Amino acid sequence: MGEVTTIRDVARLAEVSVATVSRALNGQQNVAAPVRERVLEAARELKYVPHHAARSLSSRRTHTIGVVLPDLSGEFVSELLGGIDRVAREHHLHLLVSSFRRDPEEQVTALASMRGRVDGLLVMSPFIDNATLARNLDGTLPAVLMNSNLAGAGGVGTLRVDNYAGARAVVEHLVDAGFRRIAFVAGPEDNFDADERLRGYRDTLAERLPGTEPLVLPGNFDESAGHAAGREILRMPIRPDAVFACNDMMALGCLFAFHQAGVQVPGEIAVAGFDDIPLARYVHPSLTTIAVDIAELGARALRMLLAGRAPDAAPEEVCVVPRLVVRESTRP
């Protein structure tokens, strides 16, 4: 058996202290980005395994699955983790969950913190790229990307929702229902899901209502952004007669703004969302949306990951087509 690489070896190659290596590998924030990258590169070059995981890795199993997400708030994440946890329990596995708060630099740290601790990795990132994958995912570690635009990247499995088709279905429904001035509340910038939904809105509007100018308001996937968009719509001299919010949480924020102003939904303005979170069917009026079985999405991602651990298994590429659910908020 070869000599075991130690944290001192990593520190020597990276030309930093042992304490700095420890902080960098454990995802602590008080390490400058260039220093962290140098430490991670040294660890990769030396194939360093953190001491806390060495015993588990000697048998090649930790019985733990890593989950890296943009954030840990909101009903979408709660449902997603619930589905992942259900399958993990069926297979007697534990979950190690980390978030990078939608920050690309923290994403690198979150991925690095999983080194040596997990048997497989589920990653949801709106801006992961091939270079980040290559630098931060061990080629021997099975991984599945959820809702990523990197199909078949680096031999990693991918599972995504057809956001473009879902957005088209919403706009088609609104036009068929007689609405002609349709606003869109966008999601965060550089977010793959949000970009695809915006693209579906623009394309369908151009096809079904030629000459109509898109009306796009900024948003970031939370209720307060939807509420702010709703208030901005109320100030417009000529209001849209329908609003398509990029997700349900923003649609609910819009609904609340309209309710506060005494504006009738859908009598004066219709509202639609995307995701079909549990709350969507229980608000008044109940929300028209695109149904994504969020819990099943998480469950399916973990099943894909477990199947991909088989020898010589080819990485899967799965695209889930969601369905339109019409409720009271868009019925004229």
- The pLDDT tens digits for 197-253 are 999 999 999 999 999 999 999 999 999 999 999 999 999 999 999 999 999 999 999
What pLDDT is recorded for position 319? Answer: 86
Q: What is the DSSP string of 288-324?
A: BEEE--HHHHHHHHHHHHHHTTSTTPPPPEEEE--EE
Distance (Å, rounded) from C-alpha 259 to C-alpha 265? 8
What pLDDT is recorded for position 258? Answer: 98
For CATH 1.10.260.40, the residue range(s) in the chain are 1-48
Distance (Å, rounded) from C-alpha 97 to C-alpha 107? 13
Q: Give, in words, the CATH class of 1-48.
A: mainly alpha
Strand partners, 289: 325
Record: fold of 163-292+324-330:
Rossmann fold (3.40.50)
| Residue 29 structure tokens | 């924030």
- Whose CA is closest to 44, among 75, 76, 67, 21? 21
Helix (H, G, I), strand (E, B) or coil at 152: coil
Cα radius of gyration (the chain): 23
Burial of 205 (0-12, 13-18, 19+ CB in 10 A): buried
- Phi/psi of residue 54, each to 5°? -60, -40
| Cα–Cα distances in angstroms (integers) from residue 225 to residues 250, 259, 304, 322, in the given order | 6, 16, 34, 24
Distance (Å, rounded) from C-alpha 231 to C-alpha 175? 23
Distance (Å, rounded) from C-alpha 160 to C-alpha 162? 7
Helix (H, G, I), strand (E, B) or coil at 144: strand
The answer to whether residues 193 and 161 touch, using CB atoms and an 8 Å cutoff, is yes
For CATH 3.40.50.2300, the residue range(s) in the chain are 163-292+324-330
> Per-10-residue mean pLDDT for the chain, 332 residues long?
69 85 72 81 74 44 88 85 94 90 74 82 76 65 80 69 96 97 93 93 97 95 96 97 97 98 97 95 96 90 79 67 96 83
What pLDDT is recorded for position 130? Answer: 61
| Residue 11 structure tokens | 């520190």
Element (H, E) at 160: strand 157-161
Residue 125 neighbours by CB distance under 10 Å? 25
| Residue 232 structure tokens | 């901005």
